[in-house]
Amino acid sequence: MVQEERTVRRATTAAAVGNVAEWYDFGIYSYLAAVVLDRVFFPEVGEWAAVYTLGAFAAAFVMRPLGGLIFGRLGDRYGRTKVLSATILLMAFATVLLGLVPSYGAAGMLAPVLVLLLRMLQGFSAGGEYVGALTLMAEYAPDRRRGFFGSWLEFSTITGYTLGASTCGAVIALLPDDQLVAWGWRVPFMLALPLGVAGLYLRMRLEDTPAFRQQMERSPALATMSTKRAVQIVRRHYRTGALVAAGVIVAWNVTNYVLTNYIPTYLTGTLPRFGEIGTGSGVATGMQVAVMLVMLCMIVGVGRLSDRIGRKPILMTGSVALVLLGLPAVWLLRTGTLGQIAGLLIIGLCLMCFAAVSPSTLPALFPTMIRYSSLAVIFNLSVSLFAGTAPTIIETAVTATGNLDWPGYYLIGAGVIGLVATRHLREHAGKPLDGAAPLTSSAELPPPPLSEDGVPLEQPR
């Protein structure tokens, strides 16, 4: 099957722009958590304020498996684009409302309760968003360039986080502390609305993926498959794929959430509390943005490389690096500015090995008829149980034991899990997705023959 290159790029843009909006919305909470949100919503719990604030962050992950189950099944039944339009709309709505929640001083206990509920609504939306965008992009991408196009999804995720960090950093730097606490923290949440509208517009103009359309033409009855039947198919025929997917997801996302959600708290709050060399919130945000910009410059190239040498070598490299360098990277975070930059960069480059190739690796593990729902459940359960809770568990362990090496232990554990999963992964680079016809784009076809006058000759269909 041949897909127009212009359509492939339009689908990639729709998935990527929507993903930027989604992860900007989801990420700004963590960048404001250690600096201001603990004082706005949890002012009376002392040194445990960071734990409470990160606990509200973790609450979103309680809802992600439910969101994945519901949106995933709807995506396999009614199509990818319809569900992705709903998820981005829901996320933008929840984020704007989060920016309107009154402070603890104005509403008492109602304020943290509302934060908790809205974070859970964000988690419900995120449960269907990322895997849906991943599925959309993988099913539109030509077989020989799926790694390249898939890497753009994580490019957009990092862009969303970077945009969130930059916006929060600008607000923190420009406003006096009293104005930041009074109203300034709300500004990044309000900016979610135009981003969400842009993503929604692009997705609503896109038709469904070639793989989904092929399935509906061949076997429309599969759209009515029950959830129980889908689970049976996974258990009987794709059990190894499910376990491999879970392992890759855990290794990838533990590294992700340690870097993007825990390290800001570690540098600005945890280290100074224990008498170690920390840093100011503005400097910490700036360093993290710089590391993400390095990742942005490299991630698409790594994705393209995976189309040539395969996904496994790159995933294996990231796993080995986590095992060997996870703890030294955390030690560097305690040695001053240059060490902190080096530690962040090591973690970021390990993360990039997973982020660049996982979006093209995971969809290849399941057939079209259950791809969205299977990945949504496995992805969100893995993230919710092991990755999304990592910042809260690490901070709790550090506070309770006084051992500042806990982030390193988590990174080593993620690397071990990644090694085991990659060892059992079948290489899918360059091959059609399970349940779909081979797919190429018009840009990959040889040029048509020319007449003696240089005019392209019409080719037989």
For residue 415, the domain's CATH number is 1.20.1250.20
Q: How many structural domains compose the chain?
A: 1
The contacts of residue 263 (CB under 8 Å, 6+ apart) are 284, 288, 333, 344, 347, 407
The Cα–Cα gap between 411 and 329 comes to 10
Q: Is residue 445 part of a domain?
A: no
Q: Is residue 456 part of a domain?
A: no
Domain that holds residue 327: 2-209+226-437
Q: Is residue 377 part of a domain?
A: yes
**Residue 445 burial (C-beta neighbours within 10 Å; 0-12, 13-18, 19+):** exposed
Q: Is residue 281 part of a domain?
A: yes
Which pLDDT does position 423 carry in this prediction?
95
Q: What is the pLDDT of residues 144-160, one digit of tens each?
A: 999 999 999 999 988 88
Which pLDDT does position 427 carry in this prediction?
93
> How many Cβ atoms from other residues are within 10 Å of residue 65's Cβ?
22
Which pLDDT does position 460 carry in this prediction?
46
Segment holding 293, helix H or strand E: helix 281-309
Q: Is residue 129 part of a domain?
A: yes
Which pLDDT does position 288 carry in this prediction?
84
The Cα–Cα gap between 324 and 387 comes to 20
100: helix, coil or strand? coil
Q: Is residue 86 part of a domain?
A: yes
Are residues 247 and 391 in contact, defined by beta-carbon separation less than 8 angstroms?
no
Q: Is residue 202 part of a domain?
A: yes
**Residue 221 burial (C-beta neighbours within 10 Å; 0-12, 13-18, 19+):** exposed
Q: Is residue 453 part of a domain?
A: no
Q: Which amino acid is at 136?
A: L
Query: Which residues is 441 bridged to in the sheet?
Result: 3
Residues of the chain below pLDDT 50? 460-461
Of 288, 376, 249, the closest CA to residue 27 belongs to 288
Which pLDDT does position 418 carry in this prediction?
97
